[in-house]
Amino acid sequence: MTPADGLDDAAIRSLLLNTRRIAVVGASANPSRPSNDVTGFLVQRAVDVTPVNPGLAGQTLHGATVVAALADAGPLDMVDIFRRSEEAGAVVDEAIRLGARSVWMQLDVIDNAAAERARAAGLVVVMDRCPKIEWRRLGLAMGG
């Protein structure tokens, strides 16, 4: 089955290994939420993570200070999007405006129009995937 984003394993591997600054939009303080788990995983991986959630701004999540808006998280390599598909496009547009190198839409988050806008602006686009799952599936080592 072809992934929604059309990326092969080599592209995903390269993106994961060469990304250092990630904003996690929709990060949650609730440990049962996938966005909390993935944020913690990325922090453990020695990535510079900035959680984005206006309701948690100023708090600390897995040792990282939460900011209210994506614009407060820059400069960025990647924007990891934990939002519904219909809300993802606005985040993608903001990532483009802020000069991110890539956007990563989480499992079940698909917005083909936003993906096309991002690709046209030169960003790598991942859709309907989880970085933690991909990291493990590809057998990548922990640590930056």
Note the pLDDT of residue 1: 63
Note the pLDDT of residue 143: 58
Residue 112 lies in a domain: yes
With a threshold of 0.85, does the pTM exceed it? yes
Tell me which residue of 95, 80, 77, 100 sits closest to 34, measured CA to CA: 80
3-state secondary structure (DSSP) of residue 9 = helix
Residue 4 lies in a domain: no
- 101-118: buried (b, 16+ CB within 10 Å) or exposed (e) per residue? bbbbbbeebebeebbebb
Segment-wise mean pLDDT, segments of 10 residues, the chain, 144 residues: 85 95 97 96 90 97 96 94 96 97 96 97 97 95 65
Note the pLDDT of residue 60: 96
Residue 144 lies in a domain: no
3-state secondary structure (DSSP) of residue 124 = strand
Tell me which residue of 80, 97, 101 sits closest to 38, measured CA to CA: 80
Note the pLDDT of residue 120: 98
Note the pLDDT of residue 91: 98
Q: Are 25 and 80 in contact (CB under 8 A)?
A: yes
Q: Find the CATH number of the domain harbouring 29.
A: 3.40.50.720
Note the pLDDT of residue 116: 97
Residue 143 lies in a domain: no
Per the structure, the count of domains in the chain is: 1
Residue 123 lies in a domain: yes
Q: 116 lies in which domain range?
A: 9-136
Residue 70 lies in a domain: yes
Q: Are 102 and 126 in contact (CB under 8 A)?
A: yes
